[in-house]
Structure 1
Amino acid sequence: MPEVDTRPLDTARKLAEAGDLAGAATIFAELAADPAEPDRAQAAVGLAVVLEESGDVPGARTAARTALGTGHPEFAAQAACLLAGSFEREDLTDQARAAWQAALGVGNPAYVPLAHMALARLATGDQEAEEALRAALATADPEVASRAAQRLAEVFLEEGEAGEAAEVLLEALSVPEVADVPRLRVMLGIAHLELACAELSAAIEEGGDVETSALAIELLARTLPLRGRDEDAERVWRYGLESTDEDLAAEVRLRLDRDA
């Protein structure tokens, strides 16, 4: 049994931990109903949690809204996250987005990165998702910035925007103690390979002396397979071998025959 002088909030917490959800809810509800109660925000969050565990989803949401309405920097943010999670579990996307926006509005930096990532996940379009991911990256949270950069880079690489991919990966790598550095570096290397392919293609199209053109053809043809583009590599070799410039064709043949 809790001691007589135990704070009601602590008593409710102990009851909840002991499995007496109804008893905990009674105390939490009394505290949350009192606008003058200094622990009102925390009690409302506690009430939301025990009601959720009890299966009273509407009641839990009402309690969470009470906590959110207090504007408390910690417990209002927790309440917004509880609301968002509740709505997401029922695929109520619009309400979930609004709750995550409310979490951002509280301004607690501990919850901002999580909210941005959630808004990216629930985005209604590519532009909205990109903006949310960039905002998550900008928080410089070691875990979230890494995940946001990886997702952005994947999208940019799929769209052929290797330069954009490289930029976000470099931004993530500049974050102190950023997570998953090896993965970020591998993706940066991939972005650089794509950039190299673009530069080599441009060099081939623009033309030049025989040695430079042959070198560009060889480098491009040997780089493309690293990106799984074997057929493109074969076309590049053929382009050089079938060139109307006999000197260029001969130089490309020499470079290709080095593999024989």
Structure 2
Amino acid sequence: MPEVDTHPLDTARKLAESGDLDGAAKIFAELAADPAEPDRAQAAVGLAVVLQERGDAPGARTAARTALATGHPEFAAQAACLLARSFEQEDLLDQARAAWQAALGAGNPAYVPLAHMALARLAAGQQEAEEALRAALATADPEVASRAAQLLAELLLEEGEAGEAAEALLAALSVPEVADAPRLRVLLGIAHLEMACAEFAGAIEEGGDAETAALAIELLARTLPLRGRDEDAEQVWRYGLDSADGELAEDVRLRLNRGA
């Protein structure tokens, strides 16, 4: 049987797999240098990978930029990711962010969740991080949406935005086959606890009849420890016990002793 010619790309890959990085780089470089080569983008990505393994970061970035410039829907996106990771390894964060933005601009949906999460990780500020996490959540990728919602909820809870945290977690839980659903539900419960505390506190501030105020004080004082706020709970009890309204103070005392 006549021999079947092996495509240069396959030859280069085999050389790289066997450890002959120089031989692989030579073939990849020849293909990547030819603007008329149909596999130029793929070859440039291969060259970037091989050069990175050889420790030639500048050369790898040049090759990745060549692939990115082709606009190939798959290999341009891969090249942008390679560029971004290369910059991250050297703490060149501005360049890394630009490369991840280029990955988004490549238009390949498969790389969008990864890029948004990377931009959240590299965000220059909290608002930028939240925007990137919301974008990652919106991709509805089961793994990424779950992680994005968890991180976003934690940020929002720290800001006192329990309602927004709950919305993000519910959005993630609506994703089919979302990952780590139990963790999402625990965080959702925490968000609801925070919202409950805010409502109980609001009821106390607004006053009302003694029975309602005493109930709000008890509920707030018993909920706060669930969030690790024991001292705040003691202050709430003390607020009720020291009330100038004798009926309210007595009702609070009875409620406190009932739990003793």
What do residues 185-210 of structure 1 show as CA deviations (whole Å, max 9, x unaligned)? 11111110000000001111111222
Query: For residues 55 and 94 of structure 1, what CA distance do their matches in structure 2 show?
Result: 22
Aligned twin of 2:80: 80
Matched, 1:45 2:45: yes
* 1:130 equivalent in structure 2: 130
Task: Tell me the residue number matched to 1:101.
Answer: 101
- Give the secondary-structure state (helix, strand or coil) at the position aligned to 2:133: helix
Distance in 2 separating the partners of 1:76 and 1:141:
21
Instruction: Say whether residues 1:163 and 2:157 are aligned partners.
Output: no
Who is 2:238 aligned against?
238
Superposition deviation, residue 4 in structure 1: 5.6
Root-mean-square deviation (Å)? 1.1
Deviation string for 1:146-170 (max 9, x for gaps)? Answer: 1111111111111111111111111
Displacement of 1:37 in angstroms is: 1.2
Q: Secondary structure at the match of 1:239?
A: helix
Q: Deviations over 1:99-158 (max 9, x none)?
A: 111100001111011111111111122221111111111111111111111111111111
Measure the CA separation in 2 of the matches of 1:192 and 1:185. 10
Which range moves more in the overlay, 202-211 or 93-102? 202-211
- 2:146 alignment partner in structure 1: 146
| C-alpha distance in structure 2 between counterparts of 1:252 and 1:95, whole Å | 60
TM-score (norm 2): 0.96
Unaligned runs of at least 5 residues, structure 2: none
Residue type of the partner of 2:146? S
Query: What amino acid does structure 1 have at the position aligned with 2:186?
Result: V
Q: Give the whole-Å Cα distance in 1 for the aligned partners of 2:246 and 2:54.
A: 82
Moved more, 205-214 or 93-102: 205-214
User: Match of 1:126, as an amino acid?
Assistant: Q
Unaligned runs of 5+ in 1: none
Whichever residue aligns with residue 133 of structure 1, its letter is: L
Aligned pairs (5 A) from 1:12-31? 12-31=12-31
SS of 1:73's equivalent? Answer: coil
SS in structure 2 of the partner of residue 104 of structure 1? helix
SS in 1 for 2:110: coil
Aligned pairs for 1:153-232 within 5 A: 153-232=153-232
**Separation (CA, whole Å) in 2 of partners of 1:127 and 1:117:** 14
Matches of 1:24 and 1:171 in 2, distance apart?
46
Query: Partner letter of residue 12 of structure 2?
Result: A
Cα distance in 2 for partners of 1:124, 1:39 equals 37
Question: Identity rate of aligned residues, in percent?
Answer: 86
2:133 maps to amino acid: L
Please state whether the residue corresponding to 1:72 is helix, strand or coil: coil
Distance 1:91 1:229 in 2: 38
Q: Displacement, 1:60?
A: 0.8
Paired residues in the alignment total 258
Cα deviation, residue 172, structure 1: 1.1
| Whole-angstrom CA distance in 1 between matches of 2:190 and 2:13 | 51
In 2: Cα distance, 1:239 partner to 1:119 partner: 46
1:259, distance to aligned residue in structure 2 (A): 2.2
CA distance in 2, matches of 1:128, 1:46: 33
Q: Match for 2:56: what amino acid?
A: D
> Take 2:57 and 2:242, find their aligned partners in 1: how far apart are those partners?
71
Taking the aligned partners of 1:238 and 1:124, their CA distance within structure 2 comes to 43
TM-score by length of 1: 0.96
